């Protein structure tokens, strides 16, 4: 929040909620802060509870929210107990991890980010919200906004990558898509911004591990997406499991209340991660459940998900004077207010009303899934224009353990996909090439030591004109609790790839993954590499659309792709240091055994048409605070097919009171142009784009020269740059 902005007034609490609070017993108040899993027999999102909750807990008011229960009839049956059989008739709040679709699976979030299309990000969230609310749900534990620069961390797959500007845009789009025009409408799905915050910087990429970053890094890189979600009106925030420099976020009042509630104006609810409040004991900041409950409640954490800290610890905490009744009542009112904003008091069965027709047809949802999947895939190599393949010609060999496994298309963290409706690579490619013989050979397992199928794969490759090599990382090895010290191909896939590449046939790698995989040999020897990620329900058709040339690849990397594991973490926004890299200089920041640069920079990606970008032009060389600066450039499609590309605008403050990153992303735009078409791009920049955080971490403007660089990726050697000067700033507060 900028210091000059007025603080937003708290949303008034309706009188009927205060009356309800006054009528509640202590047990009923605590119950409103308790979230339990009542559907874990089919959906598992955390460790098994020592004491299983029951329906009777709902009837007696000891439960306020439920996760993991799916199915309209089951949800309505439990809601009926809450609103018809409990003493105070308070409705339940039902939530689920609707991460990248509900029944229709869209690409995993990291993949979807690669489209660099906020309109698509919002559209998929809206479609998922429609399906989830049709089934009775009111809350999703998404979007995940953790900035991540370490592909060893399995949950990199769930977020928007390495850049805070992209994270802000992603947050706004997802909150708008999930929540819709009015949260009280039957299709309003409350968004939960998670995991607040810096969870993606876990030590050594190891899930749940401690985080230790400077305050400046936290404020410049890891907080902006969450602030954007708050300003977009997200109803809920989930604090991270981790501690930051010894401060477990779930029990930290400075972060949860003083920053987010008081400074940013957040007026929704905090929902803990699974068992996170109880884990304050393991962190070593609470001696028992009473201390853990008191610490979290005083910090401002409202809802305890599955830890037993609040149901078992809050009473003794109150008796021991560890927390106040005022803190308890404030949290209960926030939970009641959230339910009221969702319309649950007026229409507890409004979500999942069978008389309400679906917002869109199944065909429309599938078409959206196919479109977004194709837009998300990233072509990283295409030697001799081996892609696209023509509709007629010799045999195609589709080889690899991902080739005919539909489940690998769906990716990680997908709770309720229509498993029987996922299109495999084999099915999609067979439909796209009806006039070319297609041979499908697995070759080896995704994981394990069985390599008996490699000779058959080699024979199929030798008999084909072109090989499509479908390899990657098992979907089950990405996501939560899926950290990997060696983010590479699993099992005997590397042996399979070497054997197929040795045949001399042109090999197109179709790489399925939830993170960058470090495989320099395969990237070097393959003719083409298409990163398909976890593309979702229509993955096979979407891959085929690109392979056959029905559309041009347009995805771009939202993360830097390392050339070696020893480079990790690698990202484009580094500061220069006092000894920036200089070719031929020994005493400079560098590796002895590998280049500093990643294999592919942030923003990298190819299509089937070359684009030109003219030198940027600004409307004035000098500008002052409060003025708008316009930068224009011309984008041209020099190819023979319609194609899309993303243009990135970076800013660099040459001399400042604190050392600035070599590049900072200010804007990005994805444009689709017809063959031979040119289009003028206009970027308007204001004070925020030139501000930095001062010594007090408040935004400020400082006079001096700024480089504005425009290009198709964060490769500094290929950027087109113009310099402007900010005058009369005098370290003005923004």
DSSP assignments along 535-557, one per residue: --TTHHHHHHHHHTTSS------
Rounded to the nearest integer, the mean pLDDT of the chain is 95
**Statement: residue 8 has pLDDT above 80:** no
pLDDT digits (tens, 9 = 90+) for 115-128: 999 999 999 999 99
**Statement: residue 620 has pLDDT above 50:** yes
Pair of tokens at residue 199: 């969870």
Pair of tokens at residue 106: 């869209």
Question: Is residue 559 located within the same domain as residue 624?
Answer: no
Element (H, E) at 195: strand 192-196
CA distances from 326 to 30, 256, 315, 464 (A): 13, 17, 14, 73
pLDDT digits (tens, 9 = 90+) for 315-335: 999 999 999 999 999 999 999
Residue 708 belongs to a domain:
yes
Question: Is residue 561 located within the same domain as residue 630?
Answer: no
**Statement: residue 302 has pLDDT above 60:** yes
What is the count of structural domains for the chain?
3
Q: What is the CATH number of the domain that holds 235?
A: 3.20.20.300
pLDDT band at 7 (very low <50, low <70, confident <90, very high): low
Residue 406 belongs to a domain:
yes
Look up the pTM and report it.
Answer: 0.96
Please give the share of the chain, as a percent, with pLDDT higher than 90.
92
Question: Is residue 324 located within the same domain as residue 367?
Answer: no
* Distance from chain centroid for Cα 731: 35
pLDDT band at 146 (very low <50, low <70, confident <90, very high): very high
73 given a catalytic annotation: no
**Statement: residue 73 has pLDDT above 90:** yes
Question: Is residue 411 located within the same domain as residue 463?
Answer: yes
- pLDDT, average across residues 540-564: 98
* Predicted pLDDT at 6: 45
Residue 596 belongs to a domain:
no
* Predicted pLDDT at 729: 85
Q: CA 106, CA 102: separation in Å to the nearest integer?
A: 9
pLDDT band at 731 (very low <50, low <70, confident <90, very high): low
pLDDT digits (tens, 9 = 90+) for 78-113: 999 999 999 999 999 999 999 999 999 999 999 999
Residue 6 belongs to a domain:
no
pLDDT band at 558 (very low <50, low <70, confident <90, very high): very high
- pLDDT, average across residues 637-645: 98
Q: CA 445, CA 443: separation in Å to the nearest integer?
A: 7
Active-site residue, from 187, 252, 273, 689: 273
Q: What is the CATH number of the domain that holds 408?
A: 3.40.50.1700
Question: Is residue 281 located within the same domain as residue 379?
Answer: no
Residue 635 belongs to a domain:
yes
pLDDT digits (tens, 9 = 90+) for 13-72: 899 999 999 999 999 999 999 999 987 555 555 565 555 668 899 999 999 999 999 999
* Predicted pLDDT at 4: 38
* Structural domain span for residue 230: 35-42+54-341
Question: Is residue 300 located within the same domain as residue 439?
Answer: no
Say which residue, 3 or 561, is predicted with more confidence: 561
Question: Is residue 286 located within the same domain as residue 382?
Answer: no
Question: Is residue 253 located within the same domain as residue 377?
Answer: no
Domain boundary among 536, 567, 598: 567
* Distance from chain centroid for Cα 434: 36
Detail the DSSP E strand segments found in 539-613: 611-613
* Predicted pLDDT at 48: 58
Q: CA 117, CA 670: separation in Å to the nearest integer?
A: 7
pLDDT digits (tens, 9 = 90+) for 225-241: 999 999 999 999 999 99
DSSP one-letter code for 218: I
Domain boundary among 537, 567, 597: 567
Say which residue, 543 or 728, is predicted with more confidence: 543
* Predicted pLDDT at 391: 94
Query: Distance between terminal CA atoms of the chain?
Result: 10
* Predicted pLDDT at 196: 97
């Amino acid at each position: 929040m900028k210091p000059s902005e007025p603080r937003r007034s708290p949303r008034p609490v309706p009188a009927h909620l205060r009356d309800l609070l006054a009528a509640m017993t202590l047990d009923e108040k605590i119950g409103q802060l308790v979230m339990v899993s009542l559907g874990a027999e089919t959906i598992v999102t955390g460790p098994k509870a020592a004491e299983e909750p029951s329906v009777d807990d709902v009837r007696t008011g000891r439960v306020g929210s439920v996760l993991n229960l799916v199915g309209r009839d089951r949800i309505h049956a439990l809601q009926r107990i809450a609103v018809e059989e409990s003493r105070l008739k308070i409705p339940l709040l039902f939530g689920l991890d609707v991460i990248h679709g509900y029944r229709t699976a869209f690409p995993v979030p990291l993949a979807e980010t690669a489209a660099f299309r906020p309109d698509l990000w919002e559209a998929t969230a809206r479609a998922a919200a429609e399906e989830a609310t049709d089934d009775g749900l009111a809350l999703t534990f998404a979007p995940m906004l953790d900035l991540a620069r370490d592909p060893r961390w399995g949950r990199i797959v769930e977020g928007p990558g390495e850049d805070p500007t992209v994270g802000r845009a992603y947050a706004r789009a997802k909150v708008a898509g999930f929540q819709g025009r009015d949260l009280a409408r039957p299709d309003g799905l409350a968004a939960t911004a998670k995991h607040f915050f810096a969870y993606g910087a876990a030590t050594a990429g190891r899930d749940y591990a401690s985080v230790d970053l400077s305050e400046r890094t936290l404020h410049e890189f890891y907080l902006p997406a969450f602030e954007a979600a708050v300003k977009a009106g997200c109803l809920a925030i989930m604090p991270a499991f981790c501690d930051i420099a010894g401060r477990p976020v779930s029990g930290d009042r400075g972060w949860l209340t003083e920053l987010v509630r008081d400074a940013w104006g957040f007026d929704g609810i905090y929902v803990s991660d699974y068992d996170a409040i109880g884990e304050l004991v393991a962190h070593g900041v609470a001696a028992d459940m009473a201390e853990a409950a008191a610490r979290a409640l005083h910090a401002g954490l409202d809802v305890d998900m599955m830890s037993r800290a609040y149901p078992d610890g809050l009473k003794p905490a109150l008796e021991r004077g560890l927390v106040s009744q005022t803190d308890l009542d404030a949290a209960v009112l926030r939970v009641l207010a959230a339910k009221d904003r969702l319309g649950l008091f007026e229409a507890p069965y409004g979500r999942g009303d069978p008389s309400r027709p679906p917002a869109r047809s199944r065909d429309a949802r599938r078409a959206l899934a196919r479109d977004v999947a194709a837009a998300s895939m990233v072509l990283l190599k295409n030697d001799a224009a081996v892609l696209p393949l023509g509709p007629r010609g010799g045999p195609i060999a589709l080889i690899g353990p991902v080739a005919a496994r539909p489940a690998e298309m769906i990716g990680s963290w997908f709770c309720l996909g229509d498993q029987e409706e996922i299109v495999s690579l084999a099915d999609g490619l067979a439909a796209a090439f009806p006039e070319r013989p297609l041979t499908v050979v697995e070759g080896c397992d995704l994981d394990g030591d069985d390599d008996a199928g490699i000779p058959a794969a080699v024979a199929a490759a030798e008999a084909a004109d072109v090989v499509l090599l479908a390899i990657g990382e098992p979907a089950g090895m990405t996501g939560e609790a899926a950290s990997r010290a060696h983010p590479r191909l699993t099992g005997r896939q590397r042996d399979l790839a070497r054997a197929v590449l040795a045949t001399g046939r042109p090999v197109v790698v179709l790489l399925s993954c939830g993170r960058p995989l470090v495989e320099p040999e395969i990237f070097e020897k393959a003719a083409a590499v298409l990163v398909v990620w976890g593309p979702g329900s229509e993955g096979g058709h979407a891959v085929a659309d690109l392979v056959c040339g029905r559309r041009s690849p347009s995805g771009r990397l939202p993360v830097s792709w390392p050339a070696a594991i020893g480079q990790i973490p690698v990202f484009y926004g580094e500061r220069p240091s006092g000894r920036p890299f200089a070719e031929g200089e020994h005493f400079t920041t560098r590796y002895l055994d590998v280049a500093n640069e990643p294999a592919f920079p942030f923003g990298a990606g190819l299509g089937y048409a070359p684009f030109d970008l003219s030198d940027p032009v600004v409307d004035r060389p000098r500008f002052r605070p409060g003025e708008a600066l316009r930068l224009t450039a011309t984008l041209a499609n020099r190819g023979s097919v319609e194609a899309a590309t993303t243009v990135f605008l970076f800013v660099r403050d040459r001399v400042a009171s604190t050392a600035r990153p070599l590049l900072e992303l200010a804007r990005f735009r994805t444009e689709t142009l017809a063959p031979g078409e040119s289009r003028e791009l206009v970027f308007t920049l204001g004070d925020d784009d030139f501000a930095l955080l001062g010594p007090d971490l408040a935004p400020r403007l400082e006079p001096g020269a700024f480089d504005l660089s425009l290009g198709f990726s964060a490769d500094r050697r290929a950027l087109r740059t113009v310099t402007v000067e900010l005058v009369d700033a005098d370290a003005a507060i923004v």
